[in-house]
Amino acid sequence: MPGERRAAPATATDQARLRLSGRLVPQLALVAAALALLAAALLDVDLPPVAGAALGGCLALTALQRSLAARVQARESARLRRSEAVHRALATAEGDVVLTLDGDLRIRQVTPAVPGLPGRPLTGCVPAEDAAEVRARLLGPQPAGARHTLRLLPDTGLPRVLETTVSDLRADPDVRALVVRGRDVTARDDRERELCALAYTDPLTGLPNRAAQERSVHEDLAAGTAGLSLLLVEVHGLRAVHEDAGRSVVDAALVEVARRLRATVRGTDEVSRVDAELFAVLASGTPTEVGRLAARCLAVLEAPIVTAAGLVDLCAVVGLAPLSPGLTAAQVQDHAELALAAARSAGTGSVHRHHPELTAVRDRRDQLRHDLVGARGRGELELAWLPVVDLTERRVAGVEALMRWRHPDLGDVPPEEFLPVAARAGLTVDLQRWVLQEATRAVVGLPQSGPALRLGVNVSAAHLAAGTLVADVTRALADSGLPPERLVVELAESALSGPRVRDDVSALRLMGVHVALDDVGRGASSLADLGRLPVDVLKLDRTLLARIDRDPYVRAVCAAVVTLGATLGVDVVAEGVETVGQLAVLHNLGCGFAQGFLLSRPVGLIALTGLLEADGGRLWPGVPAPRPAPADGTAPGPVALL
């Protein structure tokens, strides 16, 4: 009631007195009953029934008191043992933090150095985003030896990061709690975060690096974030800057490129540096918006950069690929790199978006590289023969051996497709060694109706660099029995650089093998350079012949090469003759030999044999009769057919 005074709580002294009186009263009653019984016996007085009942009640009360006292003592002993176990853990922590938690994860006890925590829920002492995970981990099964990181709030008075192990002693009657032992790893966690930042940051530009970019793509794909695209921006011109101004200027230019890209993209877009000259942008937006962003990136990078060494002009290309559902981070990166390669092929300032055809082309190339390894053993490779016609005799004077690949699934694979694949796979030398063996063996058995038929075999710079060309040619000639003077080894001009290569070429010529310089007119050599090369045959490139009947300059160049060959005693062969006009001009210029689709396409060995046997090997289409070119350098007019 409002006006009543509340009873003051009992003090510890009062409680102790009550406990003492509770123990003494039964004892005093028992003593009194015993004295009464003794007095009655001494005085020889019969006790009334009431006295006997009172005495029995005293004895029963004493027995009950002793039973209750024993139970209380057992509870106190258990409590003392639990307290001793917990305090033993707290005392032996040696700097660790030990907490005991009840079934609701409320802190019952904690290391003495941290007061104020008992009674608080542990889930209220951790960041809100960790609370659910901590609760699930502590209330679930506790694997032996499992360690977990526990982040604590600053107001707990505990270290911010603990590495914890949990002992589930809730079933132990002496403890009945979860005991959490934690070691302070705050300093280690700080160091790990610093190392992580270094591992995911480009030290020069401060941008995220490749690892960070790949992690971001993986997280966005896992989260199903829509409308994202990966742009790869490849900067061109840095190597020239390095050669002209040095590493420091390149670094300054890269820092400026990073700043411009960050300033160009939107706030939600992520710019990273993934390679020496390659930046990535993880951008959001529609395909049109992303395309405009790529164009802006190209525009800002094309503006001159001011450095200590002066102005630096750079340019770039961009390949982009969307983060489509179902793709992995590696697949997105692969799509973007394929698009970048297409943009690089298109030229500076290009933007190329990935489309499935790029992946199909790459997959076909990978299949060719895989299948080419065993193609020779499976009998898929064969030789085709392109006749070389003597323009004076109008008959076949030689053949060029060309390799063909008949793939079991893809059909005929053109040489311009599989030869680069062979070069990248390191198979060029092995394949050309096979061509030498097969071609020399086949030519020996061809019919002869005139001068000995020459055999031309293409040899790459890789075969020369391998240092086995002389031995391979020697073995092929010895195995087939073909005379050395009938073999023509065709080399590109770029393959003739280096003293060792020239030694090998000289050795071939000393053996009697002829050496031809292929693709004359495609490179940048002058006529003086051609005159100093150790060759026996000059082969005019098809790019010159394509304009020889229309371009006076090209015709003059071809005439100069033919004249040089006549002066040096070197044969001149025109490659890629496809029209009657081209053949007429070559005949008029005095070119000795020609080959091309006008005269014959590459044929098989049986067809070549029939060609050589028919009409003594004559091979000549209906062509205009040659006549001198006009003095004004224009193409000759039409004349009657032979």
Instruction: Name the pTM for this structure.
Output: 0.64
Per-residue pLDDT tens over the stretch 320-366: 999 999 999 999 999 999 999 999 999 999 999 999 999 999 999 99
Whether residue 579 is predicted with pLDDT greater than 70 in this model: the reply is: yes
Non-local CB neighbours of 411 within 8 Å, separated by 6+ positions: none
DSSP 10: P
The separation between the first and the last C-alpha atoms of the chain, rounded to the nearest angstrom, is: 140
Q: 184 — phi, psi (to 5°)?
A: -70, 115
Q: Residue length, the chain?
A: 642
For position 499, what pLDDT does the model report? 66
User: Residue 147's pLDDT is what?
Assistant: 87
How many C-alpha atoms does 88 have within 13 Å on its Cβ side? 8
More confident residue, 51 or 587: 587
pLDDT of residue 448: 78
- pLDDT (tens digit, 9 = 90+) per residue, 605-633? 999 999 898 888 889 885 333 333 343 44
> What are 18-29's pLDDT values in tens digits?
555 556 666 676
Give 638 or 254, the one with higher predicted confidence. 254
Indicate if the pLDDT at residue 194 is higher than 90.
Answer: no
- Is residue 185 within 8 Å of 162, Cβ to Cβ? yes
Q: How far is CA 581 from the centre of its chain?
A: 53
* pLDDT score at 617: 87
Task: Report pLDDT for 118.
Answer: 86
Domains for the chain: give ranges and CATH numbers: 92-190 (3.30.450.20), 206-354 (3.30.70.270), 382-617 (3.20.20.450)
pLDDT at 299 > cutoff 90: yes
pLDDT at residue 313 in the model: 94
